[in-house]
Amino acid sequence: MSSLASPGSQPVDGCAQGPKVTVIMIFLDAARFIEEAIQSVLAQTEGSWELVLVDDGSSDGGTAIAQNHAARLPGRVRYFDHAGHANLGMSASRNAGLAVARGEYIAFLDADDVYLPERLARHRELLDAHPHVDVVQSRLEDWYSWRADGGARPDALEYPLPVPLCTAIKPPGLLALMLDTNGATCPGVCSITIRREVMLRLGGYEVAFRSTYEDQVMLAKLYLSCVVYVIDEVLARYRLHDASSLHQAKSSGEYTPGRPHAARRKYLEWLDGYIGQQGVRDPAVHAGLDALLWPFRHPRLWKLRQFPREGWRLLRNLVSRVVPPFLLRRLVEWRGRQKLAAALRRVQRSGERNLGGGG
């Protein structure tokens, strides 16, 4: 068992200068899925990588699975846990992986998701080819068919961002878009690769966010100051299941989509303070953040505005009972694309900098 305070120094097999990419996989009681996630890293066409497995206090067989891979592939796969096998949360665990990473680039993969074989190679190629780019971002597939029964819904590709693709997007355009779409344009953590020096400069993840919103907090930091290269390629699969951290947050009431709640307020107030500290003056960013904070600043007015929305919700439920599922799904997808395109137009009109190429 390795301590997080003592990163190894041995070179990765076949990589005398160390790995090009470090994949950080954090996990907590992930015995059900972690083997498949690890195998998807082992199957990468990219040859210069290391896998850092950070155990956030597991009490199931996931610990043994991770340790066995580290023993079988020393130098290539490394296992760490917190002092006393403690549970410190997702942000602290990702930071722990970052602290021992040796790669020039940092990629993340949660223990219940999988990479497609070209994932690391495509991101590494783009970062090598564009030295002014800080982050590469691709798409993923919402994965339901992993279930033995095929899942309740068909697999679905994540919407492509309504931005110029295969180009470098200047900051803070993607942050303004993320705020304007209420987080709908947030990529999964398995879809981004970042230069390690950038992650270190930004201070990594915010440990105050143990689970909910930890990804949006980090994305906000990246989008605020980084050049992001966006590609329209699906390179990972995001597993939908009842034991996921997002599902658990919804079940516990910690996360309630579309409604004000404490976790959301904590994130937005953190972001308000952060952009103030950074001296951000972009009007699109401030407009998006003000709109999201409005229900917390004016709770009574927000409740009044919910009456017509509740009426529309009831109407949608009625329509869903009479319209064939495949047609309803296509209508929802079309509406989603229209809303993203409208958000892009708003950001372009109001921002000091648009979502054009960064050179």
Q: Which residues contact 12 (CB under 8 A, 6 or more apart)?
A: 18, 19, 48, 49, 50, 75, 76, 102
What is residue 255's predicted lDDT score, i.e. its pLDDT?
55
Banded model confidence at residue 310, pLDDT cuts 50, 70, 90? low
The C-alpha angle 161, 45, 51, rounded to 5 degrees, equals: 85
In the chain, DSSP finds a helix count (H) and a strand count (E) of 12, 10
User: What's the rounded Cα separation, in Å, for the pair 218 and 205?
Assistant: 6
Range name among 22-31, 196-205, 319-328 with the lowest pLDDT average: 319-328
What digits encode the pLDDT tens for the residues 8-34?
A: 334 444 445 789 999 999 999 999 999
What is residue 312's predicted lDDT score, i.e. its pLDDT?
60
What is residue 352's predicted lDDT score, i.e. its pLDDT?
40
Q: Which of 241-245, 308-312, 342-346 has the highest average model confidence (pLDDT)?
A: 342-346
pLDDT at 350 over 70: no
- What are the boundaries of each domain within the chain? 1-110, 113-359
pLDDT at 339 over 90: no
What is residue 246's predicted lDDT score, i.e. its pLDDT?
54
Average pLDDT over all residues of the chain: 85
pLDDT at 351 over 70: no
What is residue 322's predicted lDDT score, i.e. its pLDDT?
72
What digits encode the pLDDT tens for the residues 80-123?
A: 999 999 999 999 999 999 999 999 999 999 999 999 999 999 99
Taking the CA atoms of residue 201, residue 202, residue 207 and residue 212 in that order, the dihedral angle to the nearest 10 degrees is -150
Which residues does residue 105 pair with via DSSP β-bridges, in sequence order? 21, 195
User: What's the rounded Cα separation, in Å, for the pair 37 and 43?
Assistant: 10
What is residue 1's predicted lDDT score, i.e. its pLDDT?
44
Q: Is 143 left (phi over 0), alpha (psi -120 to 50) or beta?
A: beta
What digits encode the pLDDT tens for the residues 208-229?
A: 999 899 999 999 999 999 999 9
- The mean pLDDT of 54-74, rounded to a whole number, is 98
Which superfamily does 1-110 belong to? Spore Coat Polysaccharide Biosynthesis Protein SpsA; Chain A (3.90.550.10)
What is residue 21's predicted lDDT score, i.e. its pLDDT?
98
pLDDT at 143 over 80: yes
What is residue 6's predicted lDDT score, i.e. its pLDDT?
34
Q: Are strands 156-157 and 135-143 parallel, antiparallel or unpaired?
A: antiparallel
Most distant CA pair in the chain: distance in Å?
Answer: 64
Banded model confidence at residue 300, pLDDT cuts 50, 70, 90? confident
What is residue 163's predicted lDDT score, i.e. its pLDDT?
83
What digits encode the pLDDT tens for the residues 246-265?
A: 545 555 555 565 566 889 99
Proportion of the chain above pLDDT 90, given as a percent: 62
Structure tokens at 259: 């409604």
Looking up tokens 């699975």, which residue turns up? 65
Banded model confidence at residue 5, pLDDT cuts 50, 70, 90? very low
Banded model confidence at residue 313, pLDDT cuts 50, 70, 90? low
What is residue 261's predicted lDDT score, i.e. its pLDDT?
82
What digits encode the pLDDT tens for the residues 113-129?
A: 999 999 999 999 999 99
Banded model confidence at residue 154, pLDDT cuts 50, 70, 90? confident
Which residues does residue 77 pair with via DSSP β-bridges, in sequence order? 51
What is residue 355's predicted lDDT score, i.e. its pLDDT?
58
Structure tokens at 6: 């003592």
Give the residue with greater pLDDT, 314 vs 195: 195
What is residue 126's predicted lDDT score, i.e. its pLDDT?
98
Predicted TM-score of the model (pTM) = 0.82
